[in-house]
Amino acid sequence: MISTVTPGDFARSFGTTVDDFSDACRRLMEETNFRFRVLEGASRDAVVLQVLKKMDADRQKIGEEARTQAWFAGWAENLEAYRNSGHSREALVPRFIRDGQVIRLNGQYVQPENPRFELDYMTVFRTWLFGKYLAGCPSLHEFGCGTGLNLVLCADLFPAMELHGLDFVQSAVDLVHAIGVAEGRRLQGHLFDMRHPDRNVRLKPGSGVLTFGAIEQLAGDFEAFLDYLLDVRPAVCIHVEPTVEVYDEDILFDYLAARFHRQRGYTRGLLPRLELLESERRIRILKRKRLGFGSLMMEGYTCMVWQPV
């Protein structure tokens, strides 16, 4: 049976109401194919087997020195594609967002009709999220900015906003610079190591901070970065990160994702740390929400929004 993601489904996923969606969000929902088929029986068993085999064969470990070169090479590929394509935004889509794969949605494996389902779903989410929490910020610093995909969306939503993309590899910084020049945006790239934050990097009053699948790569070594954020006191911090603590590991569907998360070595403990800071009245958490959406192996899009007290 074919189903589709409705505005109400998006609202439940994001933890909001349909009335909270902007016209831009509504247009994306209306104009994009979000139809899918839930995989059941033998089809679902085949996906579970595929997931288990991928885990058995996977040797990647987050935080190893080899990953630095891998990220440099990956963002360099995007930079070359961006230049060779005449500055097409399609070249900014990270290679790890794969077209046509099975998706995790509301506790089910589903097969979308639209090969770009994951990217398009996240475009709706990011359009709502940035509009909800970044409107009014004079500037935004995205740490671990990668290809700058989030920054160009913010440039469209907030043309007057000053945008800074920070990353620990030079190819990402060069790509952000190239976008700023090509599109005539208020967009700059900077080298920044989240494990060893440069305290000289300050924020304008009222500025926003964003990480999107960046803290996950620190392998749990996020305390220095969190201390830095508490020191520079942004108006709002948004983290969209895989969060192992949200899974119910007594359910096979969640257990597989949690096992993959731990096997790779993605960061754990961020949400509990933020909750502890809130209990100490050092921050106020504005949102914590598991979207119930992800790629084949895990959900990478749990949303945490907070501000210093």
Q: Residue 165 in contact with residue 142, Cβ under 8 Å?
A: yes
What average pLDDT is seen over the chain? 96
What's the whole-model pTM score? 0.96
The whole-number pLDDT of residue 66 equals 76
For the stretch 130-167, pLDDT in tens is 999 999 999 999 999 999 999 999 999 999 999 999 99
Helix (H, G, I), strand (E, B) or coil at 54: helix
Pairing label, strands 139-143, 208-212: parallel
Residue 308 CA to residue 31 CA, distance in Å, equals: 38
State the Cα torsion 88-295-273-166 to the nearest 10°. Answer: -10
> Which region holds residue 180: left if phi is over 0, alpha if psi is between -120 and 50, else beta?
alpha
The whole-number pLDDT of residue 98 equals 83
The whole-number pLDDT of residue 63 equals 80
The whole-number pLDDT of residue 109 equals 98
Q: What are phi and psi of 271, to 5 degrees?
A: -60, -50
DSSP, res 166: E
Domains, the chain, ranges and CATH?
A: 2-308 (3.40.50.150)
> Which region holds residue 273: left if phi is over 0, alpha if psi is between -120 and 50, else beta?
alpha
Confidence category of residue 271, pLDDT binned at 50, 70, 90: very high
